[in-house]
Amino acid sequence: MNDEQGTSRRGVLGGAALGLAAAAAPGMAQQGGAAAAPAATLRDPRTKYTTTPFPEQRQPWPALQFKMTPRPDCGETSYKGSGKLAGRKALLTGGDSGIGRAAAIAFAREGADVAINYYPSEEPDAQEVKALIQQAGRKAVLLPADIRSERACQKLVTDAHKALGGLDILVNNAAYQQSKEDISQITDEQFVRTFETNIFATFRISKAAIPLMPAGSVIINTGSVNSYDPGEELLDYASTKGAILIFTKGLAKQLVKKGIRVNMVAPGPFWTPLQVAGGQLPGKLGEFGQETPLGRAGQPAELAAHYVLLASEDSSFTTGGVVGAHGGKGNP
């Protein structure tokens, strides 16, 4: 071998060694090298959010989130996306506040265009969500409507599909909840309204959306810990949540033939406008969430990742399932 050949060979081997070193760098960094990413900050779930009893407060139904004390945390400043839903098109009912708002913000920051439905009087909250979706660089569509009629449900789906240019995520989240100590206090009007909002709309909106949804689409229904363990003061509400559980499981079996997944999120006590608009008995807000093993109510931001997971390809083998979040008490 002449000197020129030797020099050339040494250069090649040196370059290869540098390449191997570069490839190994991430592993070296994980082992404590100078380039290692900072460790995630651990937070005690018992104290991550307030454990102070909520002050007694009432608002006319459906209540506005921006008037609540304290305001619920829906991930407005904390949720960070990673592109899990890039290019997706989502419709959420009850998307102006609470759990629906948290899911809408997360979907947008994960790359989805988002349409939200809400009761017309909730426009101030809806405008806040619109701004947050647009700040994430995604399309925001506002669709105010009372979804208690078949016609309204059908129009909602048609309008969302047209405005978004498609539909592959549907979140049935809107709900009506009024606490009553005894069945004798539940009027027929309240009973009907609860069923029309919670389960009739879920059925009607899903029925209208399914023909427009391609294989790979997902439907996520918001159930409740009441689907399994009904609160005695929520007889009508809990009955609808039990129905949503069975509807989810049955529809999942039907839609597997179309390649559409159907799942449910089952929250426990979460601080949302439902609670201050009749969702809790008078004088009981200070106790809300205090009975959980974690000693506090949940915040909507703590549910956002559940909806993202079920909507994403990461859970492609999950259908007919339920994800719970109840602070250690309840099912599943």
Contact indicator for 125, 96 with CB cutoff of 8 Å: yes
Whole-angstrom Cα distance, residue 248 to residue 215? 17
DSSP E strands in 162-260: the ranges are: 169-172, 218-222
Domain membership of residue 43 (yes or no) is: no
- 135-139 contacts at long range (C-beta below 8 A, 24 or more positions apart): 136/81, 136/105, 136/108, 136/109, 138/108, 138/111, 138/112, 138/113, 138/114, 139/113, 139/114, 139/163, 139/164
Query: Above 70 in pLDDT, residue 235?
Result: yes
Does the annotation count 237 as an active-site position?
yes
Beta bridge partners of 170: 91, 219
Domain membership of residue 17 (yes or no) is: no
Domain membership of residue 1 (yes or no) is: no
User: Residue 99 corresponds to which amino acid?
Assistant: I
**Model confidence pLDDT, tens digit, residues 84-107:** 999 999 999 999 999 999 999 999
Closest residue by Cα to residue 193 from 170, 176, 180, 211: 176
**Model confidence pLDDT, tens digit, residues 106-145:** 999 999 999 999 999 999 999 999 999 999 999 999 999 9
Closest residue by Cα to residue 278 from 190, 158, 188, 174: 190
Beta bridge partners of 93: 117
User: Could you count the other beta carbons within 10 Å of the beta carbon of residue 218?
Assistant: 25
Q: Looking at per-residue confidence, does 179 or 38 come out higher?
A: 179
Segment (H or E) for 322: strand 322-325
Segment (H or E) for 16: helix 3-30
Domain membership of residue 94 (yes or no) is: yes
Domain membership of residue 109 (yes or no) is: yes
Domain membership of residue 19 (yes or no) is: no
Whole-angstrom Cα distance, residue 15 to residue 18? 5
49, 118, 119, 237: the active-site residue: 237
**Model confidence pLDDT, tens digit, residues 9-61:** 444 434 444 343 444 444 434 444 445 667 888 999 999 999 999 999 999 99
The interaxial angle of helices 201-209 and 235-255, nearest 10 deg, is: 20
Task: Provide the pLDDT for residue 330.
Answer: 73
Contact indicator for 249, 320 with CB cutoff of 8 Å: yes
Task: Provide the pLDDT for residue 27.
Answer: 41
Token pair listed for 116: 């939200």
SS3 50: coil
Give the pLDDT mean for 63-67. 97
CATH number for position 200:
3.40.50.720
Contact indicator for 185, 282 with CB cutoff of 8 Å: no
Task: Provide the pLDDT for residue 29.
Answer: 40
Domain membership of residue 126 (yes or no) is: yes
Q: Which domain holds residue 119?
A: 83-325
Domain membership of residue 98 (yes or no) is: yes
- Tell me phi and psi for residue 263, to 5 degrees: -140, 175
Whole-model pTM: value is 0.89
Structural domain total, the chain: 1
